[in-house]
Amino acid sequence: MRLSQLIMAAAVVVLSVSCNDDFSSVGGNVLPGDEVISTHVETNTLQALSEMSDPIKSSNPTSFILGELQDEYFGASKADFITQFSVGTIDGSSDTTSLKAADNYELDSTRLLLKYPLNSWTGDTLANHIVSIYELTTSLSPSSSYNSDTKGADLSDPEVVGTITFNVLNGKNDSIWSQASYVDTLSIPIDDAIGEKIFTVGVDTITNNALFRDFFKGFYVTSELESDDPDAEGSLVKFNHRSTSQELVLYYKRYEIDATLGDTIGTTLFERKFPVNSESVKINSFVHSNSSVDQSDISKLFVQPMAGSMGNIKIDNAFKEAWGDSIENIDSDYHLGIAAVDINVFIDTTATNYRTYAPPQSLSIYRKNDKDELTTPTFYSDNGTLSSGIGSGLLSYDVNENDEVYPSYYKFSFTPGYFEELVAPSSYNIDLVDFEDIYIMPQSPESNFDRVILHNTEIISTTDTIPAPYIAIKYIKLK
């Protein structure tokens, strides 16, 4: 059994006695006094740099992202998306309603409805974007994985089938947007030819997902910033298809006919929705012009989702070997047990401009697998269970001398067992031997546009000292 398991068991007992006990005292009132030698905390500054991200897996995002944004530090970013539609409902249940294309039924209009609540955006709220819709000509497969460099133009017909100009406030005043549950709708008219094609198709197609998606493959949705200023800020907006409905809607009507005279005596309105739901293939595509991200500026770490840039932290072999020797040194009078391991990174609040652009509420640490893909760090415990290695870094807040609360730093916590396997891997974790690089990115980078700039060097001012990224290791020496 790894010593970390013994230490963590001791920690559970101590914390159950008093949640206010400092973690450095773990084991002090649990193990016999002659077994506990001392408790320690050791910190080491980490070597880090900014690195451009490769394309990331972006199929099945939780939100569509649309728009263009120009940032002083990150440069220009553009986002568009590709999506199928379902013959079911938003929650995935079936909808077997057939359309009535008969003499007394008529299609009225077809619209793509994209919905978003308050603060589902970043950038200039008054920046106008011209949104364009294209019909897909290539089928999307639920069994395939699509990356963020997927080009919607290559999968669609070049003729525009819908367009609208909008900004994220969409003409609404502050009182409307301040409503807690208010959701606005971007309603984009779609060419009648698309609506008629769907309206007149047979009932078998309109009630069967596989047939429908082969018949109507979906849309590519993109936008262009309506500005002659090459430095215009622009904006990005998120359309979450899980919390709000995103759907194609056919509006049609039935004429009530007088059986004797044949005159129209009234109309009844209907609608048929084709939502984006869990069954739909969805892809976010991103393009960056990151000339402003100066990778030679070692004083900062530029962390941007949407396959932008990330922080690369090195855990070098000398560090691992030193700790591995300490843990495995059976000839020593002491055994070393890991109690906790944290990585701390601090926000550059001046460069991040958090009042305008909210930083991510949490960041994640990734490693690269043998396919060079970013994955969540995991390891196998003694009993063969695959376990998480590093927890998400939650944003912490501090208060400055003016009693203002501001975002300050992120803390990532290693599983003690994972750290021990990292520095002294067992045979079943041998793939960790060559693991040196970890990557800091926002959670769900395929669905998120919040970015942050982190300090990468120690900053000493007259009032405060901001450390560089560092790792803090809390351990106990035992006989």
pLDDT tens digits along 340-368: 999 999 998 888 877 777 889 999 999 88
**CB neighbour burial string for 333-358, b if at least 16 within 10 angstroms, e if fewer:** eebbbbbbbbbbbbbbbebbebeebe
Helix (H) or strand (E) holding 422: helix 416-423
Q: Average of pLDDT values for 402-413? A: 86
Per-residue confidence band for 281, with pLDDT thresholds at 50, 70 and 90: very high
Per-residue confidence band for 99, with pLDDT thresholds at 50, 70 and 90: low
Candidates 290, 235, 239; CA nearest to 447 is: 239
Kindly report which listed range (188-197, 233-242, 370-379) carries the lowest average pLDDT score.
370-379
The predicted structure's pLDDT at residue 411: 94
CB 223 within 8 A of CB 80: yes
Per-residue confidence band for 165, with pLDDT thresholds at 50, 70 and 90: very high
Per-residue confidence band for 27, with pLDDT thresholds at 50, 70 and 90: very low
The predicted structure's pLDDT at residue 13: 33
Distance between CA atoms of residues 476 and 50, nearest Å: 34
Higher pLDDT, 459 or 473: 473
The predicted structure's pLDDT at residue 425: 86
Q: What percent of the chain has pLDDT over 90?
A: 45
Kindly report which listed range (30-44, 56-70, 393-407, 459-473) carries the lowest average pLDDT score.
30-44
Assess whether pLDDT exceeds 60 at residue 26: no
Q: Average of pLDDT values for 42-58? A: 91
Per-residue confidence band for 279, with pLDDT thresholds at 50, 70 and 90: confident
DSSP state of 390: B
DSSP string computed for 33-98: TTTEEEEEEEEEEPEEEEEEPPP-B-BS-SEEEEEEEEETTTEEEEEEEEE---SS-TTS----PP
Mean pLDDT of the chain: 84
Per-residue confidence band for 472, with pLDDT thresholds at 50, 70 and 90: very high
The predicted structure's pLDDT at residue 11: 40
CB 119 within 8 A of CB 147: no
The predicted structure's pLDDT at residue 29: 37
Alpha helices for 200-316 (secondary structure H): 203-206, 209-215
Q: What is the pTM of this model?
A: 0.84
CB 131 within 8 A of CB 166: yes
Q: What percent of the chain has pLDDT over 70?
A: 83
Assess whether pLDDT exceeds 50 at residue 215: yes
Per-residue confidence band for 261, with pLDDT thresholds at 50, 70 and 90: low
CB 78 within 8 A of CB 68: yes
Owner of token pair 């003694």: 382
Q: Tell me the Ramachandran region of residue 77: left when phi exceeds 0, alpha when psi lies from -120 to 50, beta otherwise.
A: beta
Helix (H) or strand (E) holding 410: strand 405-414
Residue type, 151: K
Kindly report which listed range (11-25, 43-57, 376-390, 427-441) carries the lowest average pLDDT score.
11-25
Q: Average of pLDDT values for 294-312? A: 87
Per-residue confidence band for 404, with pLDDT thresholds at 50, 70 and 90: confident
Assess whether pLDDT exceeds 50 at residue 109: yes
The predicted structure's pLDDT at residue 372: 80
Candidates 413, 414, 433, 412; CA nearest to 422 is: 433
CB 309 within 8 A of CB 316: no
